[in-house]
Amino acid sequence: MSSETNAPPGFELPLRLFMAFREMIDELHAELARRGHPNMRPMDGFVFQAIGPYGTTAAELGRRLGVSKQAAGKTIDALERLGYVDRAADPRDARRKIVKLTAHGADSLAKSAEIFEELRARWVRTLGEKRVRALESDLRRMTPDDYFRVDVPGWFGDRGGS
């Protein structure tokens, strides 16, 4: 029973998971702003990942993000105004418009990757490579294999109607 003693309250784990995540994302965006990308929202990175290197359509993006195609369309509008993506007609299908990252958008993705490496390096400096690996390994065991269900938007959710 001694292994049960002094166990932290159960809610600490999820809370710390969130705090750590949030901390990293906040630092990412602070750094991103310094390197030429202000105006990026916390989850625009997810959107860019969902767009992918070859581009997508609004409807497909909506599916990947777990939102309606209209919502995806509005997100694209906003990102287009900010210069991160652009739309081009699909020569094969007159209905579709291919949404692609612009150079600026691709740059934000590259910068994000750099910064994530730096952040991980900081964790390694504090905890050591071994524990960071253990951390990643443990989290990998506790989460779905495919780290690509990025249906984050609106996850905090509405209170529904009435």
Separation between Cα atoms, residue 16 and residue 40, nearest integer Å: 24
The answer to whether residue 100 forms part of the interface with DNA (CB under 7 A) is no
Separation between Cα atoms, residue 87 and residue 105, nearest integer Å: 13
Give min distance, CB of 157 to its own copies, in A: 5
Q: Which two tokens stand for residue 131?
A: 């524990």
Q: Which residue in the block uniquely carries the two structure tokens 């938007």?
A: 153
Report 46-85 residues binding its own copies (CB under 8 A).
78
Give min distance, CB of 32 to DNA, in A: 17
Separation between Cα atoms, residue 50 and residue 161, nearest integer Å: 30
Letter string b/e over residues 53-68, b meaning 16 or more CB atoms within 10 A of that residue's CB: eebbbbebbbbbbbbe
Give min distance, CB of 129 to its own copies, in A: 5
Span interacting with its own copies, options 52-60, 63-71, 97-105, 139-147, rule CB under 8 A: 139-147
- 12 residue type, one letter: E
Q: Which residues bind its own copies (CB under 8 A)?
A: 3, 7-25, 28, 39, 41-43, 78, 112-113, 115-121, 123, 126-127, 129, 131-136, 138-144, 147, 152-153, 155-160
Q: Which residues bind DNA (CB under 7 A)?
A: 41, 57-60, 62, 66-71, 73-75, 78, 87, 92-97, 153-154, 158-162
